[in-house]
Amino acid sequence: MSFEQFGWVSYASNTRVSKFVDYLQEGRIYATKCNECGQVEFPPRAHCIRCLSTNFEWKELLGDCTLITYTKVDAAPSVFRDQAPYTLGLAEFSEGPKVFAWIDKSITEAEVAIGMKLKLITTELPNRRVSYLLTKAKEP
Amino acid sequence: MAEYVGVNPIPTFHVEAACASSGVGVRVGWSMVQAGLHGVVAVIGFQKMTELDAAEVQDVMSRSGDVMWESPFGPTMPAYYAMHARAHMNKYGTTEEQFALVSIKNHKYGAKNPYAMFQKELSLEDVLKSRVVASPLKLYDCCANADGAACIILASGERARKITASPIWISGLGLASSPMSLTSRSEFASFECSVQAARQAYKMAKVTARDIDVAEVHDSFTSAEVINYEDLGFCRKGEGGKFIENGETYIGGKIPVNVDGGLLAKGHPVGATGAAHIISIAKQLRNEAGPNQVPNAKVGLAHNIGGIGMYAVCTVLSAK
């Protein structure tokens, strides 16, 4: 699958990490892990940010996320006009890396709070597109 | 530009650092004069934005961050800054009212600046009741797109003294970068590149934040100005809200900031802003700021952020 199918609209087509999109289609979220120094990166990178090695493997992220910050976007870019308002969230996986994604619209504005526990899930979008979404973490 | 002004074949090139472009241009021009490569350099910042409507500009700006991983989720420039504003509110208890006070100050001074796009004062109610763009930022928390141009002529001291009776000196320069992607950053209630750029510029100019008599900082959004107070060392981390609340950044306060209206009242012609900030400070140091003059301004700071805090450029200027 091509990275062109990532998100509501994709601005990148050729990438060394396009396997990420194949994993999304399988319902799984993967990071890249450097085999030289062990650095785990999400979103995935073909070059290690620490040692620039291209020797990496895929590692599934299974943990919950904690919300770091967010905003509800009312004035959206034209491609997203019909989707607005939507809430952008920046969250941190328990494994360390961070993610920038929408927060599930089923979570009300009053419920969204910095520090809340979320889970990153994969989503299917129209026209065989795939993405990920921050939704409520399951109660322990 | 070179063609229109009729100066071909002199050397000319473009500098790109988003909203910090002409601030960085001054750094490059300074370096060339210092190296003896050129005697007199013109740094021209310009931007024409009003030929696109606001929505079209927003579309372009939504692709000015991490195009691969963030743009597919429809971020906007206000959204990015709103996330930083939210983080600041959460970490330090800063309020929307405190952010709004920045807009009131800048519009008050903008009303006396004939070059400002908006020449009307605003009340607290005006700001708080304006429509939400990206929570918690509302219309009057945000600067407007604008057309603008600014030109700075740089020369060595010796050459400058032959051209003008009142040259203004560039005594400190700083430039730093932060990762473009929010996921690569660790701090959201501060712009680390501003902290680093200010440190470099103060060190080079042999001054501290306390020595600055007047400042132009990047107020693309009210919350950005509050964060800038802290990053540039005007007040302690977390105290930016109180700082504006206590009137410390008005003329007569501890450090007058953006007393020409700032980007909030003037508008933000992206490529011109860096040079325009420097010109505002130069006018203050030359005692030419009219009704918005800061008395006895001898040392000034111009600060610019590029994009969502990917670049920060600081320039210390002195009347010496």
- Residues A55-109 have pLDDT tens digits of 999 999 999 999 999 999 999 999 999 999 999 999 999 999 999 999 999 999 9
What does the pLDDT read at residue B51?
A: 87
Residue A48 phi, psi dihedral angles, 5° rounding: -65, 135
Alpha carbon separation from B302 to B16, B96, B231, B317, B319 (Å, rounded): 18, 26, 13, 8, 14
> Which alpha helices (DSSP H) does B74-140 contain, by range?
77-92, 96-110, 124-129
This prediction has a pTM of 0.96
**Residue B296, helix vs strand vs coil:** coil
According to the 3-state scheme, what is the secondary structure of B259-272?
CCCHHHHHCECCCC
Which residue has tokens 């120094």?
A: A37
Q: How confident is the model at residue B320 (pLDDT cuts 50, 70, 90)?
A: confident
pLDDT at B281 over 90: yes
Compute the count of residue pairs across chains A and B with CB atoms less than 8 Å apart: 106
Residue B25's CB is within 10 A of a number of other CB atoms, namely 27
Q: In B, which residues are within 8 Å of A12 by CB distance?
A: 67-68
Q: What's the token pair of residue B304?
A: 């610019």
What does the pLDDT read at residue A53?
A: 96
* pLDDT mean over B202-229: 98
User: With DSSP H G I counted as helix, E B as strand and the rest as coil, what are the percentages for chain A, rounded to 5?
Assistant: 10, 40, 50
What does the pLDDT read at residue B53?
A: 85
Contact B183 A90 (CB under 8 A): yes
- pLDDT, tens digit, for every residue of B1-20? 889 989 999 999 999 988 88
Query: CB under 8 Å to B236, separation ≥6 — which residues?
Result: B230
* pLDDT mean over B134-157: 96
Query: Of the ranges A17-31, B8-22, B72-86, B293-307, which one carries the lowest mean pLDDT score?
Result: B8-22
Contact B68 A12 (CB under 8 A): yes
- Rounded Cα distance between B53 and B92, Å, is 36
What does the pLDDT read at residue B56?
A: 85
Q: Which domains does chain B have, with CATH numbers?
A: 2-318 (3.40.47.10)
CA–CA min distance B308, chain A (Å)? 14
- Catalytic residue status for B19: yes
